[in-house]
Structure formats: C-alpha cells, structure tokens
Structure 1
C-alpha cells in the first residue's frame, strides 16, 4: 500500500525528479547529536533533522539503547533505500536519520532539477516574513521561543500546544493548552504555527487536517528542510527550514552537542519557502 503521508509523498517526488541518480547516492557521513541529527551524501549535499531524544525513554543502558540505533558503526554501508524506509517508519531515532537523508536528497533535487511554483528566501527566519495579525487567534504547536516572545510583545491572544509544559516560561503557562485539547484548539486558529518536529512524531498530518481552510499555516524548524510540495498541497503557506552550506562543518558542530545557535550562518543557513501566488 502506498504511503500517503507527507514524507511518503515527498519521497515519491524525489524518486520522480532524481530517477536512477537516487540509486547512486550513498551516505558518506552521519552524526546523531544531542539536539540535531545530520548527514552528508557522497554528492556533497547535507541534511538535518531534530534528534527526538525524549522519544526514547528506554535509552538508559547499553542493551536497551542499542535497539534505538542498531546500525551504528555501519551507517555508511547502508543503501539509501534503507534510510528512506526508516523515514517512513515509527522508530524515532532511525526515523530522524531517515528524515535527515530525505533533507539531503531534497537539497540534491533542488540543485539538479529545480522546480517552479515557490519562492525561497535565504538568511531569514520565518517570523520575519510572517505578519503578526492585529486581530485574530494564534495557535503555536511546540515551545517555539522566538514566536512566543513576539506574541507576548505584541500582546496577541494565543494558545500554545506543548507535550511538555516544563519547556514553557512562567509567563507563557497561562497560554498553555495540553495536547489532549488539540482537536478543539487548532480549529480556533486564524494563524497556526507548527514545529517541524511533528513530522517525526507523526502528528503533522492531523494538525493540518484540523486547520481551517482560511487559516494561515506555517511549519518551521530544521526537520522540515525538505521539498515543500507535500506541505503546500496540505494547505501550508510558509515553510521555514535550513539549507546545509558546509556539511562537514555542520556535522562537526552536531558531534560536539551543538544547536542552531552554533551552526546558523556557519554550516547552515535559514531559508523560508513560500508558495508563489500563481500556484496558490
């Protein structure tokens, strides 16, 4: 049965655009860092994804931790198809590595067969292009610090859906909504801002289904540094991700426990992808 998820659709598009070239691609280097996971392909392209460390509560000793990443030490021997399969699976760490490979393949596809239908702005954060509404309701999925700060400064009414309320500051807790209220909170939004990590835990499709057709939907974070077609097809207007500019430098930073603050403008740049008006 065909996979009809965002990742499934993205992988189908990659296969269509890259053709046989995709079978020749290999992973030259992979790093699973504390905060982010990254890869470098033999084509020189890099990809990135958040590391879902909280999704592995059993990772407390060697025997149980080994099941999370059974191919460690042999990652360069794996076929690209194996990573793609992992991206569609439900094992968090393996899925994250698979998404990083999909991210790198997306960068390759953008180089060898660029497509029209959307515009890309480099070196900016999505919040810089997202106009904060003077009125209306805003829902943020995930503790996205820059966006929560901007909403508080604008005194804009909002709700924040977050799995772990401990990630919120005291003055943000009044706006907190537990994930159990997702089906009621998301349709309330005129502007919906979603963390890309929902691509890893498999909740992104449901969130997009809940959004009202007229709502402005933004998905952002390194994890959605993939071809935007499948996201746009589901009503997303703005995708904020990253483009890897120096894979080795990025992976060195990730191996040392680095976060976005350490690699932005060095091994990777922020990019914002928007649907072109004619394709909306």
Structure 2
C-alpha cells in the first residue's frame, strides 16, 4: 500500500528537524503555531485551525517536543494533525531562504487560464479571477463561508478534472483532502497551495503534483506571536512577507 501524503511529508520533516528545539506552541484561533530554534536562529510555523472539523477535544501528546508534534501530522485527530502541520511548517521555514523568491499573490499565477478552481473560499481571489472573465469554480467545506456561487467540496471529485489551474488553501493539509485534490486535478497545468498554512518546504511536496507554494514568511516573530495570541489574522499578516516558491518536478 502506498504511503499517505501526510506520512511522506512527516518522514521528510523529521529528518530536517534533527538538532532543532521546540521553544513554544499553541493550539488556537485563527492559527495554531509552533516556534523553534537552532543554530542561533528561530522560525515560526502556523497552521489554520478548523473548529468545524473538531469532534473531541483530546490530545495524546503528553510530553510535547518538536518530534512528538511532527509524529502526529498524519493522525486522525484533527487537533494533533493541526499541531503537527504547524511544527512541520516551522521546520520548513527554518530551512527555507525566501530572500530571492518573488513577493507575489497566488492569483497572479493563474490569470492566463480560462477555467480555474479555487478550493477554500477566498473572496479577494475569486473577485480578481471573475473580474478577468475567468470561469471560476469555488469549493468550500464550511457552510459558514458559502455564498450564492460557492460549491460544496463534495463536487470537487466531479469538476476538478475539467480545470486548467487550481488554487488550494493550505487548510487542505489540515482537513486531509489534498491527496484527493491532487488525484482529481491531474490534468491541471498549475496547482498552487496557498495561504499561511502553505509554508511547507518545496522538497516536501516534490513530485506530488503541487507546482507552487504561495505562503508567508514571518520576520517579526515576537509581534506575530503576540497578535496570534490576540486572535488577530490581519495583525499576523502584517509581520510577514508573501512569497511564491516553485516546486521542482
């Protein structure tokens, strides 16, 4: 049986986590986060928290460490999975140099396509695409984020084979749907994992079908953590820089 995608990512992250130490972490809204240090520098990783996915507030991690959190990345418990992804993103950000990467929005990558899927309702992105006359399919799992033109994520299975490009919220890692999306969107020329949760190291998704990672590098870590503790999404963004990283095939 083939190893699940999250298990493969976990295995790669554990190798890069050697010598790094977990400094602090928190499961919270709007993001769960993990802070690590090593070699005289620190890195912050985040993961979107999806309260609608939580069934039981239970966690089997008794002695938190960087390795312990990463080991839970492929757990069926969404709290454990969210913490694991935040830890993996912290490891990724520690090793990823974004200084030479372009500061760009994910939407700029797909403006030349005629049929685009947006997975995870992102209104500014959708407005930009439809403003250009691009046929845009918007899928969302959380009914609270639906509007009149939003499609249930159940229709991804049917419609993704028809699109030329896909913008996927990094939360697809958290809810475990990224693997299905990659399988159904094999004909797409571009598949961009986007948002703060897409802080993965490009090598972690090499060969999966993900072509780009459009995420955010946190530079002012102390202020970002303070704003995360205060539940501020926009405040956290203000301490970060967007970047786009191509994933080699």
**If the TM-score is normalised by the length of the shorter chain, which range does it land in?**
0.7 to 0.9
| Corresponding residue SS for 1:149 | helix
| Corresponding residue SS for 2:137 | strand
**Separation in structure 2 between the aligned mates of residue 51 and residue 157 of structure 1, nearest angstrom:** 30
Q: How far off is 1:105 after superposition?
A: 0.9
| Corresponding residue SS for 2:75 | coil
Larger proportion of helix:
1
- Using the size of structure 1 for normalisation, the TM-score is 0.78
Contact 1:35 1:51 in 2 (8 A): yes
Determine which of 59, 64, 71 is the counterpart of 1:78. Answer: 64
* 1:48-197 equivalent positions in 2, closer than 5 A: 48-57=46-55, 65=57, 67=58, 69=59, 77-110=63-96, 121-128=101-108, 130-133=109-112, 136-169=114-147, 173-174=148-149, 176-197=150-171
Q: CA RMSD in A?
A: 2.5
In structure 1, the gaps of 5 or more residues are 59-64
**Separation in structure 2 between the aligned mates of residue 222 and residue 182 of structure 1, nearest angstrom:** 22
- Using the size of structure 2 for normalisation, the TM-score is 0.87
Distance 1:214 1:51, change over 3 A: closer
**Separation in structure 1 between the aligned mates of residue 93 and residue 142 of structure 2, nearest angstrom:** 32
* 1:203-222 equivalent positions in 2, closer than 5 A: 203-222=177-196
Q: Count matched residues.
A: 246
| Corresponding residue SS for 1:121 | coil
Q: How far off is 1:214 after superposition?
A: 4.5
Runs of 4 or more, structure 1, over 3 Å off, are none
Determine which of 270, 274, 278 is the counterpart of 2:242. Answer: 270
Greater C-alpha Rg: 1
Q: Write out per-residue CA displacement over residues 70-128 of structure 1, whole angstroms, 9 at most, x where no aligned residue.
A: 66xx7xx52322111111212112211111111111122336xx9xxxx9625432223
Determine which of 202, 211, 231 is the counterpart of 1:237. Answer: 211
Q: Aligned residue for 1:13?
A: 12
| Corresponding residue SS for 2:215 | strand
**Separation in structure 2 between the aligned mates of residue 224 and residue 263 of structure 1, nearest angstrom:** 15
**Separation in structure 2 between the aligned mates of residue 216 and residue 147 of structure 1, nearest angstrom:** 16
Higher RCO (Cα < 8 Å, 6 or more apart)? 1
Distance 1:109 1:12, change over 3 A: farther
Distance 1:138 1:214, change over 3 A: closer
Distance 1:144 1:108, change over 3 A: same
| Corresponding residue SS for 1:236 | coil
